[in-house]
Amino acid sequence: MKYVRGLVNLTRRMPMVTWLVGSATAIWVLFCVLVGMPPVVIVLLPLVVGGAAWMINRLVNRAETSGKRQGVVLASSTAAVVIVFGLIQLIPYGKDHSNPPVLAEPEWSSPETRDLMVRACYGCHSNEVEYPSYAKVAPISWMVQSHIDEGRGQVNYSEFGVSRGNYRETIEVIQDGSMPPFYYTMFGRHPEAKLTKTEKATLIAGLAATPGLGDNEHRGDKGAKSNDEGDDD
């Protein structure tokens, strides 16, 4: 309760700081939700920045007037953001943009089916990921890599019949619009993944005719083909 009362008193003494910090936090959370940032990053990063700001504020000379004190707090917060942003760039997660080898793919019913799948799904569900330029900067790089890791863990069309996955749900998730997820194309990202109604219908028809994806009489491992046998790419 002592800390809560202290926080309340601080907000009363420094309304400008409270408003700026609150607004920045709300914008950060909204942005993270829209782009699909991992929840741990949404919560942990502001806490780290806040802790760094508190430490910096303790190190600098405290001003006598509330107006000057607000300036010190704002300067400390800004410095904390810059320092933490610089330090997180040293974290290696999300910096290795190499792809594992392609082991096997479905026997696509047509080259067009594969092309549409590459556009709509291969950004996270394959070993042929093309990393965007912004994936080099943390914490965005963490978000991109976490999506790829999660996507490959669910379904990897470059390891069809080799690794386990919910391949039978491919048509269903495309039909209901859950794939690709809304945040994948947010803010103009991955425009190629936005299929028209005609392209979506063509893709679903092609998947229905692809062994292991649309024909329940075939197993995924029977429909797989290795790269050595050649594919349409």
- Residue-wise pLDDT for 157-176, tens only, equals 999 989 888 888 899 999 98
Domain membership flag for residue 93:
no
Q: Which of 57, 88, 119 is the last residue of a domain?
A: 88
Give the pLDDT score at 1: 53
Residue 95 binned pLDDT confidence (cut-offs 50, 70, 90): very high
Are 164 and 209 in the same domain? yes
What is the torsional sign of CA 82, 84, 87, 90? negative
Q: Considering the domain boundaries, does residue 65 fall inside one? A: yes
Question: What's the pLDDT at 59?
Answer: 72
36 located within any domain: yes
Asked whether residue 109 falls in the same domain as residue 84, the answer is no
**Do 60 and 142 sit in the same domain of this protein?**
no
Mean pLDDT over 44-70 rounds to 72
**Residues 6+ away with beta carbon under 8 Å from 174:** 120, 200, 203, 204, 207
The number of distinct structural domains making up the chain is 2
Same-domain status, 54 and 127? no
Q: Are residues 141 and 75 in the same domain?
A: no
| Domain residue limits at 140 | 104-229
Report pLDDT for 225.
Answer: 41
Tell me what pLDDT residue 32 has: 86
pTM for the model stands at 0.75
Are 108 and 25 members of one domain? no
49 and 120 share one domain: no
